[in-house]
């Protein structure tokens, strides 16, 4: 039996994608105002759950069910290239699912249920018959909610002793999930050719590259400006301005993006998204005193 190398397994699990849910979980932790020093074990355990466990599982399952699309868009990926032989990709996705549930069990009821929901989204995103990613609106919404909102709310709930976070935390988490829908759309520009061939109706396929670029930018900006308005309304003027200024810094990148969507999508991902997630942390610290 041929075994994949450790390097190939790591490439399948895509560590670079783990950051968003780990960051969102940390934002949830910060937003509660609870002492991190007294709960550092929970914080670290939860961050690992969000990234190397649940998110990695989603990457493995997506690569398996997308192997035919990747053969067109990214033929050097582990499965279409043959470096991940046979059904190893599917097997690793299943094993990582079980490990994620086991890992979540030790964080308490809330984390276990949230992880289970996140894993359902992960499999439904890629696997038939649901295959949410067949529609860019539905697939990106499921992904954004899992990566940002669910991770943020779970981080807060775990820090609060498996209690429901207050409404302000939930509202901010959902607003940043809305904005993340636009971020997820950025990832679709690299796969337009394969998506068209395989009838995957991503937003760049449905709306055309320019239409999808405008929509992604609009969603990202509106979410951040909504957060800024809520912060101002709550008396957090400094934080409101912080989020607003960070959003303004994204506009030059977005301007270039809507002019040349396919060429500039990576620039927004590389330089605009860090500004977006910085606003998330600014908001999390503001929530501590709201």
Q: Which domain holds residue 243?
A: 7-287
Q: What is the DSSP string of the chain?
A: -----HHHHHHHH-GGGSHHHHHHHHHHHHHT---SGGGHHHHHHHHHIIIIIIIHHHHHHHHHHTHHHHHHH-TTSTTTTTSS-TTHHHHHHHHHHHHHHHHHHTT-HHHHHHHHHHHHHHHHHHSTTT-GGGBHHHHHHHHHIIIIIIHHHHHHHHHTTS-PPPHHHHHHHHHHHHHHHHHHHHGGGGGHHHHHHTT-B-HHHHHHHHHHHHHHHHHHHHHHHHHHHHHHHTT-HHHHHHHHHHHHHHHHHHHHHHHSHHHHHHHIIIIIHHHHHHHHHHHHHHHTT-
- Whether pLDDT at 72 is above 90: no
The verdict on residue 257 lying in a domain is yes
Tell me the pLDDT tens digit for each residue of 78-120. Answer: 999 999 988 999 999 999 999 999 999 999 999 999 999 999 9
The verdict on residue 273 lying in a domain is yes
Tell me the pLDDT tens digit for each residue of 149-185. Answer: 999 999 999 999 999 999 999 999 999 999 999 999 9
Query: Do 215 and 184 form a contact (C-beta atoms < 8 A)?
Result: no
Query: Do 83 and 6 form a contact (C-beta atoms < 8 A)?
Result: no
Alpha-carbon distances of 57 from 61, 190, 243, 269, rounded to whole Å: 6, 22, 32, 22
The verdict on residue 2 lying in a domain is no
What mean pLDDT comes out for the span 59-65?
A: 95
Q: What is the CATH classification number for the domain harbouring 30?
A: 1.10.600
Tell me the pLDDT tens digit for each residue of 204-242. Answer: 999 999 999 999 999 999 999 999 999 999 999 999 999
Task: List, in order, residues 6 or more apart from 20 with CB less than 8 Å away.
Answer: 55, 147, 148, 151, 180, 183, 277
Tell me the pLDDT tens digit for each residue of 176-193. Answer: 999 999 999 999 998 898
Number of domains in the chain: 1
Token output for 21: 């849910």
Phi, psi of 11 (to 5 degrees): -65, -35
The verdict on residue 1 lying in a domain is no
């Amino acid at each position: 039996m041929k075994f994949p190398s450790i390097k190939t397994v790591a490439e399948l699990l895509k560590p670079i994608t783990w950051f968003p849910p780990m960051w969102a979980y940390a934002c949830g932790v910060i937003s509660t105002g609870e002492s991190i020093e007294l709960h550092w074990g929970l914080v670290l355990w939860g961050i690992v759950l969000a990234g190397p466990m649940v998110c990695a599982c989603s990457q493995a399952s997506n690569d398996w069910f997308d192997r035919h699309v990747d053969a067109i868009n990214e033929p050097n990926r582990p499965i279409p290239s043959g470096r991940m032989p046979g059904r190893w990709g599917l097997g690793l996705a299943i094993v990582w699912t079980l490990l994620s549930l086991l890992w979540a069990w030790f964080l308490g009821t809330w984390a276990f249920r949230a992880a289970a929901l996140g894993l359902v989204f992960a499999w439904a995103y890629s696997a038939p018959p649901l295959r949410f990613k067949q529609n860019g609106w539905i697939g990106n919404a499921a992904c954004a909610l899992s990566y940002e909102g669910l991770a943020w709310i779970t981080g807060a709930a775990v820090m609060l002793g498996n209690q429901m976070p207050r409404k302000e935390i939930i509202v901010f988490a959902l607003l940043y999930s809305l904005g993340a829908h636009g971020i997820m759309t950025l990832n679709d520009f690299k796969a337009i050719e394969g998506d068209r061939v395989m009838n995957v109706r991503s937003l760049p396929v449905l709306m055309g590259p320019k239409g999808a670029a405008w929509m992604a930018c609009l969603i990202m900006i509106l979410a951040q400006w909504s957060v800024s308005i809520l912060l101002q309304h709550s008396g957090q003027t400094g934080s409101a301005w912080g989020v607003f200024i960070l959003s303004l810094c994204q506009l030059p990148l977005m301007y270039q993006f809507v002019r040349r969507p396919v060429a500039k999508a990576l620039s927004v991902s590389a330089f605009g998204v860090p500004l977006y997630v910085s606003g998330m942390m600014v908001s999390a610290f503001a929530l501590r005193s709201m």
